[in-house]
Amino acid sequence: MTDFAAIDRFITDHLEASLAELARLCAQPSVSAQGWGIQECAELVAEMLRRRGFTVEIIPTRGNPIVYAEAEGASDKTLLFYNHYDVQPPEPLELWDSPPFEPAFRDGKLFARGVSDDKGHIQCRLAALDAVKAVTGSYPCRIKFVIEGEEETSSANLEEFVVSNTGRLRADACVWEFGGINHAGQPALYLGLRGICYVELNVQTATHDAHSGLGGSIFPNAAWRLVWALNTLKDQNEHIRIPGFYDAVKPPSGRDLELLAALPDDSADLLKRYGLKGFLKGLTGGLELRRAEVFEPTCTICGLTAGYQGPGSKTVLPARASAKVDFRLVPDQEPEDILTKLRRHLDAEGFSDVEIAYLGGDKPARTDPDHPFVRLTLEAAREAYGKEPVVAPMTGGSGPNHVFINALKVPVVTAGIGYPGSQAHAPNEHIVIEHFITGVKHTARIIAKFGRGEQATPWTSTSAS
Amino acid sequence: MTDFAAIDRFITDHLEASLAELARLCAQPSVSAQGWGIQECAELVAEMLRRRGFTVEIIPTRGNPIVYAEAEGASDKTLLFYNHYDVQPPEPLELWDSPPFEPAFRDGKLFARGVSDDKGHIQCRLAALDAVKAVTGSYPCRIKFVIEGEEETSSANLEEFVVSNTGRLRADACVWEFGGINHAGQPALYLGLRGICYVELNVQTATHDAHSGLGGSIFPNAAWRLVWALNTLKDQNEHIRIPGFYDAVKPPSGRDLELLAALPDDSADLLKRYGLKGFLKGLTGGLELRRAEVFEPTCTICGLTAGYQGPGSKTVLPARASAKVDFRLVPDQEPEDILTKLRRHLDAEGFSDVEIAYLGGDKPARTDPDHPFVRLTLEAAREAYGKEPVVAPMTGGSGPNHVFINALKVPVVTAGIGYPGSQAHAPNEHIVIEHFITGVKHTARIIAKFGRGEQATPWTSTSAS
């Protein structure tokens, strides 16, 4: 049996050094959207891995390089970690209490852009590996890292990299880039991500704006074309009107609903946090709300822009109008299929003048909640947190988990140092040091248990949705 | 008989000094939207009038001051000039070939912000008065000037000033702030302005934006609320769906249609200038296009704003969304009535969450095309331009002409130095010096003919629409 008490001691004894290493990583900007500090950060991450005996390669892509690392271990099992070294832009700077790239410790927290998403998780994996190796003498299994540099700009080159390197990346299980506790402080395991199809709808009706007094009665208006086109996409009852949109939707299973029913009720928290008068479709909470939240596909207007948007009035007739729209997809919808149906729908409704720019997509993908690696992760959480973990069979967000689940046939679990208040993507992003400690202990247990083949049943691959 | 040859000679002989005075006026910024140089410009204009023997008062309002001036003349008739000394903001500065407040002569033009709208027209009136007085020995009638400083920000305080000073402002006729030639180079007389009701529609569904993965299925989305609400305002056939919206609409008279039919066809020019594929409702030109252009009320989306509008994708669910909408009104619609009906309509359609901010309005108003002062203005144009003028019974734009027509019962005509290419409100605003000369000659003839009571029929007041 692994001496987890010794591992936990190592973790706390080396906490200061680990946080110092994390702070150095966070001090290196790596803003993918702005092309800022990418190569430098990739090299810093590579160096952190090399220091620990990993064979590391910085692999160029058509976008930002991927840091790929491997190390041998005591067993022939392989555990794969997916993380990313890029971060969100720090703006608006004036809302930060300390500069985003000058990591600051205060109130038991560490503040910096990217400290939660996702540099703290990189450090969490490394601190866990350090502790397991220090106590047991070696890594308990083969460890692989895929640390990309474009997660914050939709992982445009990840799928091609994974698909063309399936031999090299072969693994038995994968730990995802995020994880941690929910709003009730319980360790939470997220087993699926919705897909996404993100488009920009553009209309141009003239070469330039006109005076609304001149053209109001006789010129086509790009903003009106856009409003009418959008109106055909979804009705006021939230029904998406694109023919065939719901065709591939697979309802949640009885097991999914059982897991959803066991999740804590966060409806009051949501209403308060966002100042909502209520939820859509008369939902008030409970299973029906949770089911709608993650097992229904969506059509969300993320942005609208046209004409004059400053203070006061300007009598302009816009020549251009644009909307950002995301569709969240559930199993077994696919972004390319939705894109095709959207084009066909707009044409059929008389909106062939509305251009669609496809800004990226992900397929929905899930890991079987009864997979042995999921059970191992839950057991590790029980021990590390001293609390019963909760299992979300699906979450509302999206990401490239389908790339790993589909191409590598691995189960994907979450574990980490995050919490709902971390302000990821926002000013004053931070981690709570106590969460960091528990997250590292959890990760160390996953590594150790997995390496020694503790799970009762043999590994079987699981597939998307 | 007035010696118009001598007047014309005076105008050309003193052209250089007049343009220099105009350049000095344009060098003084007076941006009402930005509160820049307002008082200084009002004083400069007052000084220009005092130099010519006017009694001038700079009258404070709740906004920018109004320059009011009076001078006695040879007859007891009174001619009122309405102008404004404020200008549009100069931005975007990088598109100007010379700085907007450093007037520049090149290619027979004078470039500066406000040189056409409306400082060149102030100078045009003064140059005409100078010439008439120099040749005839006096102003031929009493002259009054109302030169306001908020025309570019919707003349918020003009109506109150005029209505509470009807005795003082009493006049027999009024020359409007703009005028000149049309795209075909013909002198054009504009006899009516549509009204306007300008609103901002605002929706707020939460205290702040949410992640679209979190809220997409269950949170109300301000952008969707706005799109659906806008969609109820106008259908794809351009029919405005607000109950009662068309109730007060008075169709154009036979005389109106006769005048419209006589106007030159500018449809090809419009299609080319704005790069349009065609006009709305299958209109192709001719009388029907012109009738729609000015005698139909409109509902124009002037601006849309919600959520993320930058490059690429951001998965955000907007808490706020906003649209700027202008309604152009035809006789006898009234902005306050439209506002009331809009509120009632949105409530009835289930959009009481959509707030309406009223950003200003004007009533539609017209001058009788057969009014003697109109005939006098046309005769003056024939002589000054050596071309047959065209009469537009109505134009698509809006403005405070209703204030003068309704409160003072005066006919309002246009005359001036503008042309469709003047870039008013845009970078590189300019006047053509040749147009300035002819505009001054036209204005001088109006003053002289009016002063000596040349018109055949007695003055009768005309009322709105």
Say if the Cβ atoms of B301 and A223 lie within 8 Å: yes
Say if the Cβ atoms of A275 and B328 lie within 8 Å: no
Arithmetic mean of pLDDT, B282-296: 95
Q: Which residues of B touch A224 (CB under 8 A)?
A: 234, 300-301
pLDDT tens digits, B93-123: 988 999 999 999 999 999 999 999 999 999 9
Q: Which amino acid is at A135?
A: V
Supply the pTM of this predicted model.
0.90
Say if the Cβ atoms of B276 and A398 lie within 8 Å: no
Say if the Cβ atoms of B206 and A275 lie within 8 Å: yes
Domain limits, CATH 3.40.630.10, in chain A: 4-193+365-451
Query: Is B353 in a helix, a strand, or coil?
Result: coil
Confidence at B82, pLDDT banded by 50, 70, 90: very high
Please check whether residue A113 is in contact with residue A90, taking contact to mean a CB–CB distance below 8 angstroms. yes
For B72-119, where are the alpha helices, taking DSSP H only? none
Rounded mean pLDDT of chain B?
95
CATH architecture of A4-193+365-451: 3-Layer(aba) Sandwich (3.40)
State the Cα–Cα distance between residues A317 and A297, nearest whole angstrom. Answer: 35
3-state helix/strand/coil string of A280-342: HHHCCCHHHHHHHHHHCCCCEEEEEEEECCCCCCCCEECCEEEEEEEEEECCCCCHHHHHHHH
Q: What DSSP letter does each residue of B362-423 carry, written as one string?
A: E--EE--TT-HHHHHHHHHHHHHHSS--EEES-BS---THHHHHHHH---EE---SB-TTS-
How far apart, in Å, do the first and last CA atoms of chain A sit?
Answer: 35
pLDDT tens digits, B447-459: 999 998 865 344 3
Please check whether residue A88 is in contact with residue A29, taking contact to mean a CB–CB distance below 8 angstroms. no
Q: What pLDDT does residue A21 have? A: 98
State the Cα–Cα distance between residues B59 and B3, nearest whole angstrom. Answer: 37
Helix/strand/coil percent split, chain B, to 5: 40, 20, 40
- A439: tokens are 């997250």
pLDDT tens digits, B119-163: 999 999 999 999 999 999 999 999 999 999 999 988 999 999 999
Q: What are the backbone dihedrals phi and psi of residue B413, each rounded to the nearest 5 degrees, phi first? A: -120, 165
Q: What pLDDT does residue A455 have? A: 55
Per-residue DSSP letter, A385:
H
Q: What pLDDT does residue B457 have? A: 43
Is the preceding omega at residue A332 within 30 degrees of 0, hence cis?
Answer: yes
State the Cα–Cα distance between residues B310 and B316, nearest whole angstrom. Answer: 12
Q: Which fold has domain B4-193+364-451?
A: Aminopeptidase (3.40.630)
Site from A34, A205, A218 to mutate, B interface, most B CB atoms within 10 angstroms? A218
- A387: tokens are 């609390």
Q: What pLDDT does residue B456 have? A: 38
Domain limits, CATH 3.40.630.10, in chain B: 4-193+364-451
Query: Is B296 in a helix, a strand, or coil?
Result: coil
Q: How far is CA B324 from CA A344, A442, B120, B197, B342, in A?
A: 31, 53, 31, 11, 14
Q: What pLDDT does residue A215 have? A: 86
Q: What pLDDT does residue A302 have? A: 95
Whether B415 shows a pLDDT value over 90: the answer reads yes
**Which of A328, A334, A434 minimizes the C-alpha distance to A384?**
A434
Domain limits, CATH 3.30.70.360, in chain B: 195-249+297-362
Q: Which residues of B touch A323 (CB under 8 A)?
A: 223
Helix axes A4-13, A433-451, angle to 10 degrees: 140
Query: Is A426 in a helix, a strand, or coil?
Result: coil
Confidence at B314, pLDDT banded by 50, 70, 90: confident
The residues of chain A scoring below 70 in pLDDT are 454-465
Say if the Cβ atoms of B302 and A316 lie within 8 Å: yes
Measured between CB atoms, does A422 come within 8 Å of chain B?
A: no
Q: What pLDDT does residue A311 have? A: 87
State the Cα–Cα distance between residues A52 and A37, nearest whole angstrom. Answer: 23
pLDDT tens digits, B176-191: 999 999 988 999 999 9
Per-residue DSSP letter, B234:
B
pLDDT tens digits, B21-79: 999 999 999 999 889 999 999 999 999 999 999 999 999 999 999 999 999 999 999 99
Q: Which CATH class is domain A195-249+297-362?
A: alpha beta
Please check whether residue A101 is in contact with residue A21, taking contact to mean a CB–CB distance below 8 angstroms. no
- Neighbouring-strand partners of residue A190: A392
pLDDT tens digits, A428-461: 999 999 999 999 999 999 999 999 886 534 434 3
Q: Which residues of A touch B236 (CB under 8 A)?
A: 228, 350
pLDDT tens digits, A285-333: 999 999 999 999 999 999 999 999 988 888 899 999 999 999 999 999 9
